Structure 1
Amino acid sequence: MTGVFFTWLSGKQGRTQVERMARHTEEAATRGRLAQERRDAYLAALFVAELGLRRKRYEREDELDKLAELNQK
């Protein structure tokens, strides 16, 4: 009877460990995905800001050909 109990206990501990490792792996993947999304959003915001600055400069310097090219983007 004692052998059955310890066999069950070691199996339970093994399953608990596997569940814990799976949860940690999933959390790490989520953190990585969120970091990538934040990085992409930041780069997109920088790109939009740069386009706005270029547009203003081209308008100020009356460079209509460059302004038309920029508006296509």
Structure 2
Amino acid sequence: MLEVTCNDRLGRKIHVKCLGEDTVGDFKKVLGLQIGTAPEKIVLKKGYMIYKDHITLDDYEIHDGMNLEMYYS
């Protein structure tokens, strides 16, 4: 079980629990339920890399305690 922190740069930090074999799309669905935003409107980034919905968290080497940047489209 992983716990990933998402920071939206507006003062909100959300901690999301997930599995490594979950896709980024699944992760965004859980995140969207916690913050009350549609998952299609959420964009996750780390630096300049935008995470694609169909790739798993393990493939992106996202590990426990990692911070991701969250933007709204």
Q: TM-score range by the shorter chain?
A: under 0.3
TM-score between both structures, scaled by the size of structure 2: 0.23
Q: Which has the larger radius of gyration?
A: 1
Q: Identify, as 1 or 2, the structure richer in helix.
A: 1
Higher relative contact order (CA 8 A, sep 6+): 2
